[in-house]
A and B are shown apart, each in its own frame.
Chain A
C-alpha cells in the first residue's frame, strides 16, 4: 500500500483472486489480452461467415445441413454479408490493432505503469464484450440478422420488418450493439490520449516515441471524433425505427404496397453521417498496422526507420485528411456532383502521405541487414498489400471511374486488400513480434513461416481476381449469379476465389495451432529476443504487474538506434544512459 495518494492501488500489488486478476482486471496488459482474444473469437466467426458466403456464391443450390429448409436463401446470404462486414470491421479491425496491442504496449513503450484510467479501461473492455454479445444475438432472434449490410442505409434499415427479413429485431440489436461499441471506443480513446500526453517517461519527447505510439495516438484522435458522429447517427436511426420520427425517411414511401407515414427525411443524411465516421474508421483500422510495420521493419533490418519525422507527419496527415474525404463513398448517391469533385481531389491527396510512407518503408529496408523472422515476413507482406490496395484506390477516387466501379467487386477487392489483408498482416506481424513479451514463450518459427507463405499467396489469390470481376461488372452483395445474364461468365473467377478462400482459411489453422501450443510448450523467451531498442523489451517476458519491477526507465535516445556507427552492438536501447555504454561508444548528436 503506497502512502502516496496519487498512486493507484492496482499497480502497487497484484490483486489476489482469480476474478480480479484475469476477469475484472484493471491491468492494461490483461485488458489488452482480453481484447486480443475477443478479436480472435470475432475473426474466427467472421471467417466462417465469409466461407459460407463464398460457398454459396459458387454452389447456391447446395444443401446445407444446418439451415432450416436446407438451401441458403438470399436473405440469409445478405445476413451473412451484413454480419461478416460488421464483425470484421468493428470487432476485429478496430479492436485488435488498437485496443488489444495498443492497450498492452502503449504504457510499456512510453515507460508508464499503466494507462491513465485503469478502471475506465476495464469498463471499456466489458462494454465492447457486451456489444459483441448483443451483435451475435441478432442471429438468434425471429427474422434473423439484418440484411442491410454493415452500412445499414435507410430506408432499408429504417422501417422495420416491412423492408425485409432481419430488419425487425435483428436490425435493432445491430444498432444497439453499435451504439454500445461507440461508447466503449470513445472511453478507450480518452484513455489512450491521456496516457500518451501525460504519462510518458522522463526523456521521452514526442520525437523519441516509437512510431507505434504515434500511430495509436493518431488513431485514438480519429476514434474520439468519428465514433461520436456514428453514435449521433445511430440515435437518429433508432428514433426513426421505434419513435416514428423521420430523420432519414422521406414522405410517400410505399413498401410492398404499404404506404408509410413518415415524412421529409433524407436517406442521404444517414450516408453523410455514416461515412463521416466510416472513412476515418478505415484509417483507424490501418494506422496502427502502419506503426507496427515501421517498428518491425527497423528492428529486423537493423536500421533506423527511414525518415522518422516524415513518417510521424504522414500519420498525422493521413489522420487529418481522412476526415475530409468521406464523400468518395457517395459519388453516385445523389449528392451534388460538384461536391463529388471536391471530395475527389481531397481523396487523391491522401495518396500522397500514403505513398511517402511506402517509400520510407522501402528506404528502411534499403542498406539493411534483413532478418526474415515471421514478424518481418508479415511486415514485408503488409507493404506489398498496402501498395496494391492503395493504388487500386486511385481508380475509385475519381468519380468518373467510380461511376463504372461503384458497388462492384472491384470495391470489395480494394477494401479487402487494404483492410482484410494489410491490416490483418499488421495484426499477425504484431502477434508474432510481441508473443514472446506477452507470454514469455516463443512461437514456432517454422510454422510461422509456413503460415506466412500460404497466407500471402492465398489472399492474393482470393482478392486480386475480385478486381477483374468488378471491372467486368460483377456486382457486390449479390446472393448469386442468376439475375443479369452477363454474370454467368464471371463464375470461373468466383470458383477460383472460393477455392483459394477455403485453402487460405485452412492455413490459418496452422497459426491457431502454433499460437495455442506455444502458449504452453513454446521455448522460453528472454526479455529481448529480437535485440530491440524500445522500452517494452527492457522488462521481463511477460512483464510484472507494474510493468518494470519497481523501477521506471528514463529515456535517453530515439526509438530506432540500430547499427549506430562505433557502437559495440547493433542496437542501443532507449533507456540506457550514455555513461552506461562507456566512452568508447559514440552516439549521433541529434536526440531523435
Chain B
C-alpha cells in the first residue's frame, strides 16, 4: 500500500494509466500535445462578437440618452439615399458568404471560392458606398460636429465601417493564406460568424437612423 511520497505517486501514474479518449486526441496519442481544439476558435469569435456588441450598445445608449434630453438641440438629419443600397449590398454579402460555406461543406471547392470572392467584392462595395454616403452628408453641410445627430451618424458608420474593413481583411487572408492552426472549415465558420454579425449590426444601426429621421 502506498506509503511513499507524493512524488513517487506522480511517477507511478505518470505513464498515464488507461489511455484517455478526450476531445483532444485519440487514446494512442499520449506523447502528443492535445493542442487547440477547432471549436475554440469559434468560441473566441463568439466572445469577440460579444465584446464588440457591447461597444455598440454603449454608443446606442449614448444616442438614446442624448436624443432624449429636454429642450434638446437634436435635429434629425436626412439620411443619404445611398444607405439603402449599401444595406442591400451588405445583406446580400451575407447570403453569398453563406452560399460559399455551404459549397465548402458540400465539397464544391471552386464554387466556394467563387462565392467567397463575390462576398469580398460586395463588402468592398459596401465600404465604398458608405464613403459615398459621407460625401452626400458633406454636400448637405453635415459634418462631424455640425449637430449631435450628425455626430452620431459619423461615429456609428465609422466604427461599423472599420470593423467591416477588418472583415474584408479576414476574407482576403483566408482566401490567400492556408491557415496552419485552423482547418478551412473552422476558418470559414469564424469569418462567417463575424461577417453575419456585422450585417445584423448594420441593420440595427440603420433602423436607429430611420427611427429618428
User: Could you list which residues of chain A lie within 8 angstroms of chain B, going by C-beta atoms?
Assistant: 2, 4-8, 11-12, 112-113, 116-117, 186, 189-191, 193-195, 197-199, 201-202, 224-225, 227-229, 231-233, 235-236, 239, 243-247, 251, 263-266, 269, 272-273, 276, 526-528, 531, 538, 546, 550-552, 554, 568-569, 571, 573, 575-577, 579-582, 584
The digit string for B27-55, where 1 denotes a CB below 8 A from any CB of A, is: 00111111111111001100110111011
Contact B6 A239 (CB under 8 A): no
For B1, the chain A residues whose CB sits under 8 A away are 568, 582, 584
Contact A198 B151 (CB under 8 A): no
Contact B6 A569 (CB under 8 A): yes
Contact A116 B44 (CB under 8 A): yes
Closest to B31 in A: A550
* Chain B 84-128 interface residues, beta-carbon cutoff 8 Å to A: none
Closest to A191 in B: B44
For A269, the chain B residues whose CB sits under 8 A away are 62, 65-66
CA distance A5 to B21 in the complex (A): 19
Contact B181 A265 (CB under 8 A): no
Contact A228 B73 (CB under 8 A): no
For B177, the chain A residues whose CB sits under 8 A away are none
Counting from the closest, the 7 A-B pairs by CB-CB distance are A232-B58, A228-B54, A202-B22, A244-B145, A7-B35, A228-B55, A264-B73
Contact B38 A189 (CB under 8 A): no
Closest to A225 in B: B54
Contact A6 B2 (CB under 8 A): no
For B144, the chain A residues whose CB sits under 8 A away are 239, 243-245
Most chain A beta-carbon contacts within 10 A, residue among B13, B37, B148: B13
Contact A531 B47 (CB under 8 A): no
Assess A276 versus B16: contact at CB under 8 Å? Given A7-B33, A189-B47. no
Contact A577 B13 (CB under 8 A): yes
Contact B6 A232 (CB under 8 A): no
Q: Which of A190, A236, A246 contacts B51 (CB 8 A)?
A: A190
Contact B50 A6 (CB under 8 A): no
Q: In this assembly, does B81 line the interface, its C-beta being within 8 Å of a C-beta of chain A?
A: no
For A575, the chain B residues whose CB sits under 8 A away are 13
* Chain B 147-200 interface residues, beta-carbon cutoff 8 Å to A: 148, 151, 155, 159, 180-181, 183
Question: What are 16 contact pairs spanning A and B, CB under 8 A?
Answer: A6-B36, A11-B33, A116-B44, A186-B51, A190-B51, A198-B40, A199-B34, A224-B50, A233-B62, A235-B155, A266-B66, A272-B61, A551-B31, A568-B3, A576-B10, A577-B13
CB distance from B163 to the nearest CB of A (A): 13
Q: In this assembly, does B205 line the interface, its C-beta being within 8 Å of a C-beta of chain A?
A: no
Contact B66 A2 (CB under 8 A): no
Assess A4 versus B48: contact at CB under 8 Å? Given A202-B20, A526-B7. no
CB distance from A381 to the nearest CB of B (A): 29
Closest to A199 in B: B40
CB distance from A536 to the nearest CB of B (A): 13
Contact B2 A224 (CB under 8 A): no
Closest to A114 in B: B36
CA distance A224 to B31 in the complex (A): 35
CA distance A195 to B36 in the complex (A): 9
Contact B32 A113 (CB under 8 A): no
For B16, the chain A residues whose CB sits under 8 A away are 551
Contact A4 B33 (CB under 8 A): yes
Contact B55 A229 (CB under 8 A): yes
Q: Which of A4, A7, A245, A580 contacts B9 (CB 8 A)?
A: A580
Closest to B180 in A: A5
Q: Which of B12, B18, B21, B33 contacts A12 (CB 8 A)?
A: B33
Assess A6 versus B181: contact at CB under 8 Å? Given A235-B155, A251-B73, A573-B6. yes
CA distance A575 to B6 in the complex (A): 12
CA distance A554 to B15 in the complex (A): 12
CB distance from B186 to the nearest CB of A (A): 10
Assess A265 versus B20: contact at CB under 8 Å? Given A6-B38, A232-B55. no
CB distance from A206 to the nearest CB of B (A): 15
Closest to A244 in B: B145
Q: Which of B10, B62, B74, B183 contacts A273 (CB 8 A)?
A: B62
The digit string for B53-87, where 1 denotes a CB below 8 A from any CB of A, is: 01111110110011001001110000000000000
For B24, the chain A residues whose CB sits under 8 A away are 202, 552
CB distance from A277 to the nearest CB of B (A): 9
For A198, the chain B residues whose CB sits under 8 A away are 37, 39-40, 43
Q: In this assembly, does B141 line the interface, its C-beta being within 8 Å of a C-beta of chain A?
A: no
Assess A264 versus B38: contact at CB under 8 Å? Given A190-B47, A568-B2. no
For B34, the chain A residues whose CB sits under 8 A away are 112-113, 199, 552
CA distance A197 to B47 in the complex (A): 11
CA distance A245 to B61 in the complex (A): 17
Closest to A270 in B: B62
For B37, the chain A residues whose CB sits under 8 A away are 6, 198-199
CB distance from A6 to the nearest CB of B (A): 4
Contact A225 B155 (CB under 8 A): no
Contact A6 B65 (CB under 8 A): no
CA distance A231 to B163 in the complex (A): 15
Contact A276 B47 (CB under 8 A): no
Most chain A beta-carbon contacts within 10 A, residue among B30, B51, B148: B51
Assess A265 versus B66: contact at CB under 8 Å? Given A189-B47, A526-B7, A554-B20. yes
Closest to B10 in A: A538
CA distance A396 to B179 in the complex (A): 53
Assess A276 versus B58: contact at CB under 8 Å? Given A6-B181, A550-B31. yes
For B56, the chain A residues whose CB sits under 8 A away are 232
For A227, the chain B residues whose CB sits under 8 A away are 51
CA distance A186 to B44 in the complex (A): 11
CA distance A276 to B148 in the complex (A): 22
Contact A194 B43 (CB under 8 A): yes
Contact B17 A113 (CB under 8 A): no
CA distance A581 to B3 in the complex (A): 10
CB distance from A526 to the nearest CB of B (A): 7
CB distance from B197 to the nearest CB of A (A): 14
